[in-house]
Amino acid sequence: MGSFLQCTFLLAMLLFSVGLTSANSATEFYWKAKLPFTPMPKSVIDSLATEDNDDVWLSTHNKAHNWTHSYEVMLKGYEGGGHCHTDSMINTDFITSTFFLEKDLSMGSKLSVHFRDNVGSVNTRFPSPRLAQALPPFKSSSLSNNLRFFNAEPESDAAMFMNLTLNTCEHPNPINGKKQYCATSLEKLVSYVTSTLGGSHDVRTISASPSGSPHRDALLPYKVVGVREVATEKNMVACHRLGFPYAVYYCHQPKATTAYTVSLVDVMNGVKSDAYAVCHSQTSEWSPEYVGFKILGAKPGTHVCHFLQFHDVVWYRG
């Protein structure tokens, strides 16, 4: 994966906070019709419009919202300033601690990880289908219309992210797998996932929130007490949220990638929980600037693993 794109993922992850949510009945009905046996992952619940009223969506997503300001606030947490410097992320333990080497995916390994469910203050959701018709096109050629619509100033970090997201969606990077797609609505997301996986039966998901115990928001030592393969590239689609004033998922079928359930024991209190991780075993074409290599002091070709973060969702048939 190119450093450019990886950088998008990492910073995009910071843009979403979790609000109180309950899907409205139309979306629940849609989901149940398409994926009757699959519980809706939390990441997707967090992306749904909470109400049927488009005016309320608009007032939280643009009118009253200064995107230039939101991004400035969010990026202040980084030493490198407001730009996409992997070096500044290297100082952020909830990002760095999620990366590890494949050899550490074994019984008895010790890993210090800072699990975090959400970061940031910008809560973005899918527009309703009706409202989606009224928004500027999701295209890089309509960047300036989007900037105007969402009150983002042209030279701002917000504008840089929006441009990056539009370009990422328009220019698939072959290193990320042969199929890539950006979904800007629940319907598009579900239809891409079910068509790529070849059906809606037995579709399961894993995402960042580990099950079993409430994670504390700190860098904590864990011991690996179990590793189970859950999916491989053949039956897997990975989706990551990208930075934009509304919810956008970038989905792809990563090459030579395996997803695992990793059972961890919190060394300090003995509490056991499950987390999810993916390992990439064909990385020789990746940029040496890939943030995972920098964090691990590794070179292209190294098998790199990472726990799923925030709003990542891996869908698989199993």
Ligand X SMILES: *[C@@H]1O[C@H](CO)[C@@H](O)[C@H](O)[C@H]1NC(C)=O
Which residues make up the interface to ligand X (CB under 6 A)?
66, 68-69, 72, 143, 163, 167
Q: Kindly state the smallest distance separating residue 177's Cβ from ligand X, in Å.
A: 21
State which residue, 28 or 72, has the beta carbon closest to ligand X. 72
CB-based closest residue to ligand X: 69
Angle between the 3-12 and 157-170 helix axes, to the nearest 10 degrees? 120
Closer to ligand X by CB, 151 or 263: give it: 151
Q: Edge-to-edge strands of the sheet including 272-280?
A: 99-101, 304-307, 272-280, 257-266, 219-232, 110-114
Q: In the complex with ligand X, which residue's Cβ is closer, 140 or 191?
A: 140
Tell me whether residue 9 or residue 94 sits nearer to ligand X (CB atom). Answer: 9
The CB-of-275 to ligand X minimum distance in angstroms stands at 34
Task: Work out how close the CB of 263 gets to ligand X at its nearest, in angstroms, rounded to a whole number.
Answer: 41
Is the distance from CB of 85 to CB of 92 less than 8 angstroms? no
Q: Does an H or E element contain 72, and which?
A: helix 67-75
Classify the phi-psi angles of 291: left when phi > 0, otherwise alpha if psi is within -120 to 50, otherwise beta.
alpha
Characterize the bridge pairing of strands 304-307 and 313-317: unpaired
Give the contacts of 62 (CB within 8 A, at least 6 positions apart). 149, 150, 151, 245
DSSP string for residues in 4-30: HHHHHHHHHGGG---------HHHHHH
Q: How far is the CB of 108 from ligand X (least distance, A)?
A: 45
- Residue among 10 and 111 whose Cβ is closer to ligand X: 10
What are the beta bridge partners of residue 257? Answer: 280
Give the nearest distance from C-beta 134 to ligand X in angstroms: 21
Tell me whether residue 7 or residue 208 sits nearer to ligand X (CB atom). 7
Q: Give 239's strand partners.
A: 251, 313
Smallest separation (angstroms) from ligand X to the CB of 107: 44
